[in-house]
Structure 1
Amino acid sequence: MSLALDARQRAMLAEMGVRLWAPRAPAVAAPTPALPQPQPQPEQAAPVAARPASAAPPVAAPPPTKAAAARPRAPSAIPAPPPTPARAALAPLPPGIDAMDWPALQAAVAACRACGLCAGRTQAVFGTGSRTADWMVVGEAPGETEDRVGEPFVGPAGQLLDNMLAAIGLSRRVDTTTKSIAASANPESAGGQNRQKSGVYIANVIKCRPPGNRNPEPFEVAQCEHYLRRQVALVQPRIILALGRFAVQSLLGSAEPIGRLRGRVHHYQGVPVIVSYHPAYLLRALPDKAKAWQDLCLALATVQAGAPTRDAP
């Protein structure tokens, strides 16, 4: 895949600190030569020390008592495999959610009292961007700034995400126009030239801020999954970017580390899913920005390969 980055987009990537412009071809691991197996050595009898002639003969140990002889031998300890975190059962569907349109769904989220997170929120954080997008970004939970503003991915983490999306010509602002690399993947666009970018919709798994920015509990994630599922059904994206551990667990039901899930295409409700790091993590782990760029390139290649768009819900 070739990315036709112009000077502006390259400058954006340089500002982000990303120095790897495309994923490198995976190195073919050289076969590891088999190591010679050690040969078992015959056991040698330990030397017996000479006993002095004047030493008394050894006294035989008394036979074990019946209780000691009957004592069972403790079985050898076998390490158990690490437990896999159980996924909470999906909460009951809100009435009529499968038929809700955007206004009804947003009103249902705003009025939701299914878990205790509603008590400490300023407002529910529903989502932002184009509701007819090809791309959908799914994050984890609102932070303090998101709770105050009412929009996902704001602050430094949101700025980093916006820069990454802008590098391939995407924006959460539906009135932005550009020569878009991502737009060129859409056969309905005029070669990607000055296409009105309605290309990305951004949402979180959790719609209310957990107190103190703590991690969401499994039952809290389960309460919000119905809303996210309906958002995906309404947007009908061609690709989903799952950013962060809780987004991955909600969409894929997997507790595997992100590092093991990267680099391949997963699916949620028939939509291709690419796993990557959360922008807040990338602000702390700068070397992994290059890996996040690789993930973005994989998502772009998946869209360009012609992932089918589903029928309207």
Structure 2
Amino acid sequence: MSDVYDILEALRWHLDVGCDEAVADEPTDWTRLAARAAPARPPAAPGAAPARPARDAESRRPPGRSEAPNRPEVPEAGAPLGASEAGASARARARAAASLEELEAAVRAFDGCPLKATAMNTVFADGNPKARIMLVGEAPGEDEDRQGKPFVGASGRLLDRMLAGIGLDRSTVYITNILPWRPPGNRNPTAAEIAACLPFMERHVELVGPGIIVPLGGTSAKTLLNRTTGITRMRGQWFDYTPESGGRTVPVLPMLHPAYLLRNPAAKREAWRDLLVLRERLQTL
């Protein structure tokens, strides 16, 4: 693969499947390792029977049997928590947080979500925590993961322009995500990953106490409203969010995610209508 265009295509393929971070300080030349000669075996003793290949012994083993003794697996130290343990740990940490600062510290110390091990930064929030509007995205992207702030990439710049269209900016809104860590390759988060982080999100809403919640995209809308309806059917309509703790009910206006609008510019018309609905509701608060 000496042609430079073939090399570029290979790099693009790796980016598409999520391989966008180096895991070693120096690159490994696998071609040199593969070309190394196999170590020579010591000569057999005179009169000794020739050693049989390992596959002969393997072929004599009954199907389904293993040479290793049958014993239960023991989790290694530092192994990820199970789904139920992660949820219980998150709930306990979230309930103990009495302020946004304590909640952020609890999120950063939480090891119950495997996404933390692959992310560069914990992305907690941005904007004004005393704002009336709380915007909730899905999860950080590549730019957000690098900078440690939500909505700072191309979709973030579009979001800024959308807010400016109705007289808002980051000083008048509060922005966060359902997940504080980026899924590899920007894939959709799994149900287990969402469940592990949801207690922090619920406590986040309680501590901020917004007048309006705006989920951006299907994942955040479905998670907060506990619905399976698609975002194209929920957008532009008002719903109610009530935390499990039984606190104050907050009006919710789902909207299309800016990243979706970048891929589907024709949908910006619906997004503008939703922004007008939001501006009208703001005038009544």
**Aligned-pair distance for 1:96?**
4.7
**Aligned-pair distance for 1:263?**
2.8
| Greater relative contact order, per chain length (Cα 8 Å cut-off, separation 6+) | 1
Whichever residue aligns with residue 207 of structure 1, its letter is P
Q: Deviations over 1:1-49 (max 9, x none)?
A: xxxxxxxxxxxxxxxxxxxxxxxxxxxxxxxxxxxxxxxxxxxxxxxxx
Aligned to 2:94: 97
Aligned to 2:114: 116
Please tell me whether the aligned partners of residues 140 and 179 of structure 2 are also in contact (alpha carbons under 8 angstroms): yes
**Aligned-pair distance for 1:228?**
1.2
Please tell me whether the aligned partners of residues 110 and 123 of structure 1 are also in contact (alpha carbons under 8 angstroms): no
Task: Map 1:198-277 to 2 at 5 A.
Answer: 199-269=172-242, 270-277=249-256
**Aligned-pair distance for 1:287?**
1.1
Structure 1: any 5+ residue segments left out of the alignment? 1-87, 175-198, 307-313
Counterparts of 1:238 and 1:99, CA distance in 2? 24
The percentage of counterpart residues that share the same residue type is: 45
- The alignment status of 1:299 with 2:272, answered yes or no, reads no
Please tell me whether the aligned partners of residues 91 and 222 of structure 1 are also in contact (alpha carbons under 8 angstroms): yes
Out of 128, 137, 158, which is 1:139 matched to?
137
- Let me know the Cα RMSD of the aligned residues: 1.7
TM-score (norm 2): 0.65
Aligned to 1:24: none
Please tell me whether the aligned partners of residues 135 and 239 of structure 1 are also in contact (alpha carbons under 8 angstroms): yes
Q: Deviations over 1:56-95 (max 9, x none)?
A: xxxxxxxxxxxxxxxxxxxxxxxxxxxxxxxx98922442
Aligned to 1:32: none
Counterparts of 1:272 and 1:302, CA distance in 2? 10
SS in 2 for 1:168: coil
Task: Map 1:1-313 to 2 at 5 A.
Answer: 91-92=87-88, 93-100=90-97, 101-172=99-170, 174=171, 199-269=172-242, 270-306=249-285
Whichever residue aligns with residue 266 of structure 2, its letter is P
Counterparts of 1:304 and 1:267, CA distance in 2? 19
Structure 2: any 5+ residue segments left out of the alignment? 1-82, 243-248
SS in 2 for 1:91: helix
Counterparts of 2:114 and 2:151, CA distance in 1? 22
Counterparts of 1:294 and 1:147, CA distance in 2? 30
Please tell me whether the aligned partners of residues 239 and 273 of structure 1 are also in contact (alpha carbons under 8 angstroms): yes
SS in 2 for 1:154: coil
Displacement over 3 Å in runs of 4+: none
Counterparts of 2:142 and 2:135, CA distance in 1? 20
Please tell me whether the aligned partners of residues 134 and 200 of structure 1 are also in contact (alpha carbons under 8 angstroms): yes
Greater Cα radius of gyration, structure 1 or 2: 1
Q: Deviations over 1:176-198 (max 9, x none)?
A: xxxxxxxxxxxxxxxxxxxxxxx
Counterparts of 1:299 and 1:273, CA distance in 2? 10
**Aligned-pair distance for 1:207?**
0.6
**Aligned-pair distance for 1:305?**
2.8
Counterparts of 2:91 and 2:253, CA distance in 1? 28
Counterparts of 2:233 and 2:87, CA distance in 1? 29
Please tell me whether the aligned partners of residues 235 and 256 of structure 2 are also in contact (alpha carbons under 8 angstroms): no
Q: Deviations over 1:229-258 (max 9, x none)?
A: 111111111111111111011111111111
Instruction: Please identify which structure carries the higher helix content.
Output: 2
Counterparts of 1:281 and 1:215, CA distance in 2? 13
Counterparts of 2:236 and 2:157, CA distance in 1? 24
Whichever residue aligns with residue 301 of structure 1, its letter is E
**Aligned-pair distance for 1:158?**
0.3
**Aligned-pair distance for 1:102?**
1.4
Q: Deviations over 1:254-308 (max 9, x none)?
A: 11111211232111121111111100010011111110111111122223233xx
Please tell me whether the aligned partners of residues 126 and 203 of structure 1 are also in contact (alpha carbons under 8 angstroms): yes
Whichever residue aligns with residue 156 of structure 1, its letter is A
